[in-house]
Amino acid sequence: MAVIFRDAQPRDLAAMVAMLADDPLGKAREGADMAPYLEAFDEIIGNPMHQMIVGETGGRIVAMCQLTILAGLSRQGAKRALVEAVRVVADLRGQKLGEALMAECESRARAAGALVMQLTTDKTRLRAHAFYDRLGFTASHIGYKKNL
């Protein structure tokens, strides 16, 4: 299957939100009102340090993520790439789309000068943990979140 990775466009937003909502954690977090998603999308694409990436095949959006390049002081001022909201449509999982998406992120991160690529994943997502382990990520830190 040929997938083209590109920057997301507003027309892709409904498919992206559907992917975010298509799991037990997402069902509890996501909503039907598109207004907050459109506002967030506009803010994301308006910042040159953020990239919303989608994978498309046959006119269908089948994968997505957000890539953010962060400037930092540690590691001698190294830039970091933060990957968020990694999703592949349920009916195409297991077909290497996630690997291709993460390779696209890594390529873009390197091109932006990032020396580290990092992400968080929910503790309950055991299949995701195995996926990231297989791609060479190391579960080296404990992540914390606080709802505000």
The domain that contains 25 carries what CATH number? 3.40.630.30
Tell me if 23 is assigned to some domain.
Answer: yes
Residues 116-128: pLDDT tens digits?
A: 999 999 999 999 9
User: Which of the four pLDDT bands, split at 50, 70 and 90, describes residue 27?
Assistant: confident
Residues 34-92: pLDDT tens digits?
A: 999 999 999 999 999 999 999 999 999 999 999 999 999 999 999 999 999 999 999 99
Are the beta carbons of 58 and 73 closer than 8 angstroms? no
Tell me if 26 is assigned to some domain.
Answer: yes
User: Which of the four pLDDT bands, split at 50, 70 and 90, describes residue 145?
Assistant: confident
Tell me if 46 is assigned to some domain.
Answer: yes
Strands (E), 17-99: 50-57, 60-70, 79-88
pLDDT value, residue 89: 96
Strands (E), the chain: 4-7, 50-57, 60-70, 79-88, 114-119
Tell me if 22 is assigned to some domain.
Answer: yes
Domain count, the chain: 1
Tell me if 144 is assigned to some domain.
Answer: no
Q: Nearest CA to 71 among 49, 45, 104?
A: 49
pTM of the model: 0.93
Question: What is d(CA 138, CA 63) in angstroms, rounded to the nearest whole number?
Answer: 23
Tell me if 103 is assigned to some domain.
Answer: yes
Residue 141 carries which DSSP code? Answer: S
User: Which of 19-23, 49-53, 100-104 is the least confident region?
Assistant: 19-23
Are the beta carbons of 65 and 85 closer than 8 angstroms? yes
